[in-house]
Amino acid sequence: MFGPGGPLSPAVGGFRPRKSQTEMAKAIANAIAEQSTLIAEAGTGTGKTFAYLVPALLWGGKTIVSTGTKNLQDQLFLRDIPTVRAALQAPVSVALLKGRGNYVCHYHLERTLQNGRMTSREDVGHLREISRFLKMTSSGDKAELARVPENALIWNLVTSTRDNCMGAECQYYQDCFVMKARKEAQQADVVVVNHHLFFADVALKDTGVAELLPSANTIIFDEAHQLPDTATLFFGDTFSTSQVLELCRDVLAEGLSHARDGADWGKTVTVVEKAARDLRLTFPQDIVRLSLPQIAPSSEFFPALETLKDELDGLIAVLDKQAERAETLEQCRVRATELAQQLRDWKFDPKAKVAKGEEAVFWVEAYTSSLQLHKTPLSIAPIFNGQREGVPRSWIFTSATLAVKNDFKHFAEQMGLAGEPARTWPSPFNYEQQGILYVPTGLPDPNSMGYTDAVLDAALPVIEASGGRAFLLCTTLRAVKRAAERLRDEFEKRGLPYPLFVQGDKGRTELLDQFRKSGNGVLIGSQSFWEGVDVRGEALSLVIIDKLPFAPPDDPVLAARIEVMEKQGMNGFMHHTLPEAIINLKQGAGRLIRDEGDRGVLMLCDPRVISKPYGRRIWQSLPPFKRTREAAEVIAFFQGEAAAPEST
């Protein structure tokens, strides 16, 4: 299949046999045949997508492929799977399944058209586009409607949630896009989902994945390094004030439609909305993450929480009396009761005995306009192991970054996969010839004041030498903001013609497209640009990383996990914090060389790589670039590149 005369050659432009790709495909085929588990790390450029798709499509049976983001899902469904299917002439059917928030809901669209309160002229225009789209689309997937931005607020009014979906009672049930997508997924041989959907289903049984699992004989997680975080998110329980505000919006609409004389609906919901907003306002800062024990007992938070519970009970009392007048009001009553129960459950008793595997962290997260109360499991391993028990099937976990210096222990322990076979296939790229890893001298401690400016002082001569064509990857949004201000000034002062692209100014896809087209741009981004970003060729020749990506020390879940490790006699930093940072750093470093013809410089600014004893582990986990601490060597590299004849 992967040989020079094989079927993939004519189907894929520029396809060349790669030993590591073939070996990986064999190992995956073997795991599928034996219904066993495999952890598979494949260096950048191995071609891991084809390495798992070929055996999965040839072996038959039902395969679920889960990937990190909706963008990657679309790429697999629209490009990669059709290519492999055509090359192998495999008679398999393929379906794409996303969360219900991605599909237009007939019922909610109609209700919004009738009595939606539009907050802006933009919303009115978007709504018109969506109703036109509804008449033409066969999938109802909002990704097909490029004219309305994916994050436009109007989508919340025209899609359903698990709470407000009418299910089989809905008059549009026969035409429902969510149901149609689920039915197609049940009948398909290969189903493409994303990690959020997969784990949301484990927790909520609401996304259609639960019905697929019993018949699947192969489950493949691509970008598997994201699984511990995603699973933690969904195996916990989250209550949000925005759920309360959505409930109030629906109660008002349904109360006025079906029981106008039953209550003063406006007054009934206003007191609940106020209590939800007041709860958010007990934290004056914009973004807060605190564990329950960290909140001062004298804080206004606790009385505000009690007030919200009381007001929610008042709303339930009104709904109890009116619910029988309409199915939709009964549904609102059920939602209100569930939210009230969640609020009652969110309490931590330090004296209570908790069964092993059920330990949890209670914490609060405040955003600009909402507050979330989380209950997060300390370890997801026992829950995920419960998922994997039962029918024997093959589980494949693959990514470019799962190991720390060829050791998979960290990932395997987090996912409850200790003892399962794990293998690494090296990248086919010649890193020593293709790039340089540069750690500048003389930088201050990363926690010192003015550190970002010191990074930019060191980076500016290198950005000039590379002629732009750079990513500056920061670990905080504050650093992104400071770097953008400073580079804007410096480029203007020095007359440098490099267009600047800053995370947050536009959507990620748009920024990347413009960066590629510019040919000499400088893109400044934080976490969302460290992974899943593919810029090949000369448009990206320099990746600057400001700091080692250690998790913020104030993360309540991380703090609790480390406390437990230390009680067990382990070193929380060496066993958890450092491996996490290395896996993250490998992702960032992986942005540079994406092709056999790519050349470039990875500039890692954090002096701890050299000064700290753990620096060695970091060095050894990064690609084997030629290494230097001399700026002159880096500038000569770019000058040599510019002087090289075109044909090379």
> For 74-97, how does the pLDDT look when each residue is reduced to its tens digit (9 = 90+)?
889 999 999 999 999 999 999 999
| Distance between CA atoms of residues 406 and 385, nearest Å | 24
| Distance between CA atoms of residues 170 and 160, nearest Å | 12
Flag whether pLDDT at 643 surpasses 60: no
Mean pLDDT (whole number) for 422-445? 94
Return the pLDDT at 648. 32
Torsion of CA 86, 91, 93, 94, to 10 degrees: -30
Q: What is the pTM of this model?
A: 0.85
| Distance between CA atoms of residues 451 and 442, nearest Å | 11
| Distance between CA atoms of residues 311 and 473, nearest Å | 46
Do residues 484 and 432 touch, judged by C-beta distance below 8 A?
no
Mean of pLDDT over the chain: 89
Do residues 589 and 602 touch, judged by C-beta distance below 8 A?
yes
Mean pLDDT (whole number) for 290-301? 88
Do residues 57 and 87 touch, judged by C-beta distance below 8 A?
no
Q: Which one-letter DSSP state was computed for residue 575? A: I
Pairing state of beta strands 94-96 and 600-604?
unpaired
Q: Which one-letter DSSP state was computed for residue 404? A: B
Mean pLDDT (whole number) for 39-62? 93
Q: What percent of the chain has pLDDT over 70?
A: 95
Backbone angles phi, psi at 168, to 5 degrees: -65, -15
Q: Where are the domains of the chain?
A: 8-92+189-222+390-425, 100-168, 235-377, 431-643
| Distance between CA atoms of residues 80 and 362, nearest Å | 41
| Distance between CA atoms of residues 388 and 412, nearest Å | 14
Q: Measured between alpha carbons, how far is residue 38 from residues 9, 29, 51, 320 in Å?
A: 27, 10, 13, 52
> For 512-547, how does the pLDDT look when each residue is reduced to its tens digit (9 = 90+)?
989 999 999 999 999 888 888 888 888 899 999 999
Split at pLDDT 50, 70, 90, the class of 52 is very high
> For 142-171, how does the pLDDT look when each residue is reduced to its tens digit (9 = 90+)?
988 888 887 788 898 899 987 788 888 889
Q: Do domains 8-92+189-222+390-425 and 431-643 have the same CATH topology?
A: yes
> For 314-344, how does the pLDDT look when each residue is reduced to its tens digit (9 = 90+)?
999 999 998 888 888 898 999 999 999 999 9
Mean pLDDT (whole number) for 455-459? 96
Return the pLDDT at 646. 41
Return the pLDDT at 99. 86
* Cα–Cα–Cα angle for 114, 115, 118, rounded to 5 degrees: 110
Three-class SS state of 132 = helix
> For 553-565, how does the pLDDT look when each residue is reduced to its tens digit (9 = 90+)?
778 888 888 888 8
| Distance between CA atoms of residues 538 and 557, nearest Å | 41
Pairing state of beta strands 371-377 and 237-240?
antiparallel
Mean pLDDT (whole number) for 244-264? 89
Return the pLDDT at 357. 65
Do residues 228 and 58 touch, judged by C-beta distance below 8 A?
no
At residue 3, what is the residue type? G
Task: Give the number of other CB atoms < 10 A from CB of residue 463.
Answer: 22
Among the residue ranges 318-322, 470-474, 638-642, the one predicted with the least confidence is: 638-642
Split at pLDDT 50, 70, 90, the class of 14 is confident
Return the pLDDT at 454. 96
Q: Which of 620, 429, 528, 476 is nearest to 226 (CA)?
A: 528
Task: Give the number of other CB atoms < 10 A from CB of residue 342.
Answer: 16
* Residue 523 tokens, joined: 């893109």
Mean pLDDT (whole number) for 373-384? 88
Q: Which of 419, 418, 415, 410 is nearest to 380 (CA)?
A: 415
Give exposure, 98-130, as e/b (b: 16+ Cβ within 10 Å). bbbebbbbbbbbbbbeeebeeeeeebeebbeeb
Torsion of CA 501, 504, 507, 508, to 10 degrees: 60
Q: Measured between alpha carbons, how far is residue 128 from residues 112, 122, 394 in Å?
A: 11, 10, 46
Q: Which of 378, 381, 415 is nearest to 560 (CA)?
A: 378
Among the residue ranges 169-173, 211-215, 327-331, 640-644, the one predicted with the least confidence is: 640-644
Cross-strand partners of 141: 103
CATH code reported for the domain at 431-643: 3.40.50.300
Flag whether pLDDT at 300 surpasses 80: yes
Considering the domain delimited by 235-377, tell me its CATH architecture.
Orthogonal Bundle (1.10)
Question: Which CATH superfamily is 8-92+189-222+390-425 part of?
Answer: P-loop containing nucleotide triphosphate hydrolases (3.40.50.300)
Return the pLDDT at 642. 52
Flag whether pLDDT at 623 surpasses 60: yes
Mean pLDDT (whole number) for 471-492? 94
Flag whether pLDDT at 645 surpasses 80: no
Flag whether pLDDT at 599 surpasses 50: yes
Flag whether pLDDT at 644 surpasses 50: no
